[in-house]
Structure 1
Amino acid sequence: MQTKQQVAAVIAAAGVGQRMQSATPKQYLEIAGKTVLEHSILAVTRDPRISAVIVVVAATDPYFSQLKLPQSIPIHRVTGGASRAESVAAGVQFAQQQGYRFVAVHDAARPCLARTELAAVIEQGLQHPAGAILALPVADTIKRAHADQTIDTTIPREGLWQALTPQVFATSILLDAWRIVGVTDPQLTDEASAVEALGLAPKLVLGRRTNIKITQPGDESMAAAFIQQLEKE
C-alpha cells in the first residue's frame, strides 16, 4: 500500500486567463463563496494520499497571499515560469526536493474535481508505470477548420479522449521527460504529452463531465452549480 507521504499535489496557477476577458486572473475569480483557486486546492486535499499542495504562481502574483487556505495540510508557494510546462516543472522539482515520489498535477481553473475522480486517478497513477490522467471520451462531432472558420473536415471521434486533470506521475518520469523534450514546446499542453514523448503510454481514467476548466465567460456560473452539487454528494 502506498503511503500518503508519497504524493504531492502540484497546482498550476501562474496563468492570466486572457480568454475570460477579466481584469482578475480566472483562478482568483470568486464563485460559491471562495476563489476558483481555493476550491481547487480544497478539492485535491480530499484524498488522504495527498500530503502537501504545491501552488505554482507568477512571480508578480499579488493575490495568493490573501487566500484562506486549509490548515490541515502543508501548502507551498512556488514561482512559475514563462510557459505552463516550465511552471509545472518548477513545482514538480520542488516536490522531488521535498522527497515526494509522486505528484498529482491539477489545473487551478478546475474547481469541480470530485473526490471519487481524485481517488481513481491516484490509484491508477501509483500503479501504472507510465502514470495516469483523468479523461473523457469525446462525445461531440469534431470538425477541423480552415483559417476563415469554415469546415475543413470531420474528424472521426472513435478513440479520441479529452484530457482532464489531475494527472498523476512519478516525479522522476516527469522530470526526465522535460529534460529530454524541454519545457518551451507549445505542444506540451499537459504533462501526459511530455511523458508520451518518452514513448510511454499513460493510463486513461474515466473522469466526470462536471470536472470543467473555467476558460470562457459564463463558465464560472456553471462551475458554481457543479460545486453545490458536489457538496451534496
Structure 2
Amino acid sequence: MDFPVYVVLPGSGVGLRFGSPTPKQYTDVLNKPLFLYTVQAFHRFPWVHTIVVVVSLDDIPWVEEQLKKNNLTRVRVVAGADTRHRSIYNGVKALRKVCTGDAVILIHDIVRVLAEESVVKDVATAAKQHGAAGITRPLTSTVIAKDNEGFLSESLDRTKYVASEMPQGFHFEIINTAYEKASEYDFEFGTECLHLASKYTGTRVRLVEGPDSLWKVTYRKDLFAAEGILRENLSSIFIEEGKNQRENIISSFTEGNLKVSSEKSPSCSESGFVFFLSPPRLEPDIASKIDNISVIMNKITSHQYEKCSGCPCNDSISESTKKEDCGCYTNTDETEVMVCSKCSFLTKKTIVLLHEINKSCRRTVVENTRERLLGARLPDNVFMSVIVYHKDSNLQRVGRLSVSLLKNQDPGMNGQVLYVQ
C-alpha cells in the first residue's frame, strides 16, 4: 500500500440480540475480549496509520487499559452516542486533525473479528480510486416483503441484490460531508454508510465482492463459532522439517483443518509448533532438545514489544535501537511502540514434542521426559506437551492427538507426557 489508511471501529452498542448483560464486544473468547481481535486484525497492517475505537463513555478507561496491556499503540478511543451512525460520526470527527481530502477511512464492525489483508486492501484501493467502496456477498436466501397485515406483498429477484458487508471505505471528505448533511432520520434509523455517501455527495460507490469468511458475532451461539474460526484462521502451525514422520503429521493436520506454516524456522506468526525427537535418544538429548525449544520460544515471544524490520515505517526508527540478533527494533524512549506485525493473533502458543522411542525403554524415557518438562523455562503463555510413541505406533492416532492439543490450547495439558501405542 502506497497510502495510509485510517480505521473506525464502532463498538458502543449494547447488543440487544446477543441476550447478555455483557456487551458482545467485551465477551471473552480464548481468554481475550472479542473486540481486541478486531483491533489486532487491523493493527498488524503497518500501512494502517490510526485506528479509532468508538465505545460507551463509561467503558473508555477499561478499553484503554486492555489496549495498553496488548501493546496496541496506534489506537484512539472516543465516546460513542445513542445510535450507530452518530457513533461512527464521532469516530470520523476524531480523525479530522490527521485526515484531509482523499485520505482513506475504513469503517468496520468491531465484532467482525476477521480482516483478511487482501480483502482490506481491495476495499481501501477501490475507495482511493472511486471515493467510496464496500464489500458485498451474494444473497443466499430469497428476500420477500410483507404488507401491514403480515401477508406477502413482494418477492425480490435475488440476482439483482447483494448483501452489504464490512469493511467499507471512503475518502475522508466524502464520509465527513455525508454526515454533516445527514438528517436526523438518517442518524436515528439509518444503517448503511455507503447509502449516505451516495445520497449526500453523489459519489458512485464501487462494490467489491468479498469471500465467504465475512462474518460477525450477533447472537450468543456465535461465540462458539468465533472461537473455532479464530483458531483456524488467525494462526498456523510450524512443523519441524527433515523428519520422516512430518508428512504423516501434515496429513492429519489437513484433515483437522489446521494450517501448516510455510516458514522454514519457528517465528512469532505461529500459534502452534511441532518438534521431533527420534531414537536413539538418551536423557541428555531430551534435556538439550527441551532447552533449545525454550530458548526459541523465549526469543520469538519477546517480539511483543518490538518493531519488526519488515515494516515500511521503520525508516523513522533510529539505527541505534536495532537488535542484531533478530533484526527487530526494541521499545525505547525515542521509538514508537508497535506490536510486531507478524505476531499470531492468539496470545497462547502450544508446543507438541513428538518423541519416538525404542519400545523397551518406554518407562525410563517417559519419567525422564516428564522431569525435564517440569523444569522447562518457557514463557507463561507457552504450553508444551510430549507425545511418546515408537515406530510401530499408529501414526494417525499420533497426528489426531497432536491436532487436538494444538486446537484446544489447554493449559491443563502443559507438562504432560502422553503415550500412543
| TM-score, structure 1 as length reference | 0.88
Whole-angstrom CA distance in 1 between matches of 2:58 and 2:148 = 35
Q: What is the Cα deviation at residue 149 of structure 1?
A: 6.0
1:126 positional shift = 1.5
Q: Which residue of 1 aligns with 2:88?
A: 88
Counterpart Cα distance in 1 of 2:98 and 2:76: 11
| Counterpart contact for 1:133–1:168, Cα < 8 Å | yes
Q: For 1:61, what is the secondary structure of its paired residue? A: helix
From the superposition, tell whether residues 25 and 72 of structure 1 become closer, same or farther in structure 2 (CA, over 3 Å): closer
The 5-angstrom pairing of residues 1-233 of structure 1 reads 2-4=2-4, 7-61=5-59, 63-68=62-67, 70-71=70-71, 73-99=73-99, 101-128=103-130, 130-146=131-147, 151-182=152-183, 184-185=185-186, 186-198=188-200, 199-231=202-234, 232=236
Counterpart residue type for residue 141 of structure 2:
D
SS of the aligned residue for 1:9 comes to strand
Give me the whole-angstrom Cα distance separating, in 1, the residues matched to 2:128 and 2:46.
14
CA contact (8 A) 1:83 1:184 kept: no
CA distance in 1, matches of 2:192, 2:44: 23
Deviation string 1:48-106 (CA, Å, 9 cap, x unpaired) is 32111111111122641342455364110111112111111111111122236221111
Pick closer, same or farther for the CA change 1:124–1:29 going to 2, 3 Å.
same
Verify the 8 A CA contact 1:89 1:178 in the aligned structure 2. Answer: yes
Quick one: which amino acid aligns to residue 29 of structure 1?
T
Unaligned runs of 5+ in 1: none
- Determine the C-alpha separation between the residues in 2 that align with 1:36 and 1:164: 19
2:138 partner letter: P
For structure 2, list consecutive stretches of 5 or more residues without a partner in the other structure.
Answer: 237-258, 260-421
Give 1:45 deviation, angstroms: 2.1
Number of equivalenced pairs: 230
Assess if the C-alpha contact under 8 Å between 1:112 and 1:223 holds in 2: no
Instruction: Tell me if structure 1 keeps the 8 A contact 2:136–2:163.
Output: yes
Q: Which residue of structure 1 lines up, in the alignment, with residue 272 of structure 2?
A: none
- The SS at the match of 2:105 is strand
Q: Distance in 2 between matches of 1:52 and 1:25?
A: 24
The answer (yes or no) to whether the contact 1:118–1:166 under 8 Å persists in 2 is yes
In structure 2, do the counterparts of structure 1 residues 197 and 209 end up closer, same or farther at CA, with 3 Å as the change threshold? Answer: same
How far did residue 184 of structure 1 move?
4.7
Report the Cα distance in structure 2 between the residues aligned to 1:111 and 1:166, rounded to whole angstroms.
11
- Supply the distance in 2 between the matched residues of 1:89 and 1:46 (Cα, whole angstroms): 25
Residue type at the aligned position of 1:96? R
Which has the bigger relative contact order, CA under 8 A and spacing at least 6? 1
Does structure 1 conserve the Cα–Cα contact (< 8 Å) formed by 2:57 and 2:79? yes
Q: Distance in 2 between matches of 1:135 and 1:109?
A: 17
Query: CA distance change for structure 1 residues 47 and 155 in 2, over 3 Å: closer, same or farther?
Result: same
- Tell me which protein shows more strand as a share of its residues: 1
Deviation at 1:132, TM superposition (A): 0.9
- Cα deviation for residue 113 of structure 1 reads 2.3
- Is the contact between residue 114 and residue 211 of structure 1 (CA under 8 Å) also seen in structure 2? no
Larger mean Cα displacement after TM superposition, 13-22 or 43-52: 43-52
The one-letter code of the counterpart of 1:202 is V
- CA 1:71–1:3: 2 relative to 1, 3 Å: farther
Contact 2:104–2:124 (CA under 8 A) maintained in structure 1: no
TM superposition shift of 1:139:
2.3
SS at match of 1:81: coil
Using the TM superposition, name which of 222-231 and 172-181 deviates more: 222-231
Query: Relative to 1, partners in 2 of residues 1:90 and 1:183: Cα closer, same or farther, differing over 3 Å?
Result: farther
Partners of 2:67 and 2:182 in 1: CA distance: 37
Q: Aligned equivalents of 1:47 and 1:127: distance in 2?
A: 20
Q: CA deviation at 1:195?
A: 0.5
Overall identity of the aligned pairs, in %: 23
Give the aligned residue type for 2:142. Answer: T
Write the distance in 2 (CA, Å) between the matches of 1:226 and 1:159.
Answer: 30
Contact 1:114/1:230 (<8 A) preserved = no
Counterpart residue type for residue 117 of structure 1: V
Alpha carbons of 1:32 and 1:208: their partners in 2 closer, same or farther (altered >3 Å)?
A: farther
- Aligned 8 A contact 2:79 2:87 in 1: yes
TM-score, length-scaled by structure 2: 0.51
Match in the other structure for 2:360:
none
